[in-house]
Homo-oligomer: A and B are copies of this chain.
Amino acid sequence: MTRHELVNTIREKQSLLCVGLDPDLNRIPARYDGNVLQFNRDVIDATRRYCVAYKPNTAFYEAMGLEGLSILQQTITYIGQDHFIIADAKRGDIGNTSRYYARFAFETLGADAITVAPYMGTDSVEPFLEYDGKWSVLLALTSNAGSDDFQHTPQEGGEPLYEKVMRRAQLWGSADQLMFVCGATQAERFADLRRIAPDHFFLVPGIGAQGGDLEAVCRYGLNEEGGLLINSSRGILYADDPGQAAHDLQRQMAVYLNKFAPGLSQ
């Protein structure tokens, strides 16, 4: 999916919602009797009109062994072509090896995008960016407590590591192929994040279970094209009514789009 198509979808649906498909066998309703694929299909059917993206986290599927990978493939096929699909895999290795991860995400799974870890630098990220029409979503400022350990530390010259990552990575990939992970739990920093990368999309986890502030993220993070994909996983998957939970989020997003990015309103 191109950026133009993604922006059009955001405008049409008045939604920035990304649904995280992270099925936890301990939390899936008993009526599914452990049938993860059926659970995913039902969540997708209930939410597809309200969201613009899906983000299966590969960890949840790998933990189910070979069957899990098959479920992941079938889930992505079931989603189809009308949503932006992010394989949340947080991969990254020397260039020779990242090429294989790229093949896994983009060819084996057929995702539009993969999340990538920046620690190993340019040649670990480039093989993902070399895929025409595919996207890399680079970890910048994550939503977890451990983001304090290294990401916030000022580098020589004063900028924190996440800022260095975002500035450097903009030399590697354009806003048509590169996004950044910016956690909603760091909402107070979104004005600053948007200043560092005015044009790039941010993938924003941390709404809901992790406590992020949706209004602040939209207020400071929206740009003229939206520029945000805001993820909810547990808050939708394990709601009594996943469709209702997704619809509620979409309606809030429509309000904030109207308020903070009026050019995108219908």
Chain B residues near A139: list those with CB within 8 A.
Answer: 119-120
Given A98-B59, A156-B154, A164-B153 in contact, is the A120-B147 Cβ separation under 8 Å?
yes
**Closest B residue by C-beta to A117:** B117
Check A112 for interface membership: any CB of B closer than 8 A.
no
Chain B residues near A118: list those with CB within 8 A.
Answer: 119, 149-150
Q: Across the interface, do B103 and A63 meet the contact criterion of CB distance under 8 Å?
A: yes
Q: Across the interface, do A153 and B156 meet the contact criterion of CB distance under 8 Å?
A: yes
Check A108 for interface membership: any CB of B closer than 8 A.
yes
Q: Across the interface, do B70 and A66 meet the contact criterion of CB distance under 8 Å?
A: yes
Q: Which of B100, B117, B125, B205 contacts A59 (CB 8 A)?
A: B100
Q: Across the interface, do A100 and B63 meet the contact criterion of CB distance under 8 Å?
A: yes
Q: What distance in Å separates the Cβ of A234 from its nearest Cβ neighbour in chain B?
A: 9
Check A251 for interface membership: any CB of B closer than 8 A.
no
Given A63-B104, A94-B142 in contact, is the A149-B161 Cβ separation under 8 Å?
no
- Which A residues, 143 to 162, have Cβ-Cβ distances below 8 Å to chain B? 143-151, 153-156, 161
Of A10-18, A44-52, A85-93, A239-247, the one with at least 4 CB within 8 A of chain B: A85-93
Q: Across the interface, do A117 and B104 meet the contact criterion of CB distance under 8 Å?
A: no
Check A65 for interface membership: any CB of B closer than 8 A.
yes
Q: What distance in Å separates the Cβ of A202 from its nearest Cβ neighbour in chain B?
A: 17
Check A238 for interface membership: any CB of B closer than 8 A.
no
Q: Which of B65, B97, B146, B151 contacts A108 (CB 8 A)?
A: B65
Q: Across the interface, do B161 and A146 meet the contact criterion of CB distance under 8 Å?
A: no
Q: Across the interface, do B92 and A117 meet the contact criterion of CB distance under 8 Å?
A: yes
Q: Across the interface, do B146 and A123 meet the contact criterion of CB distance under 8 Å?
A: yes
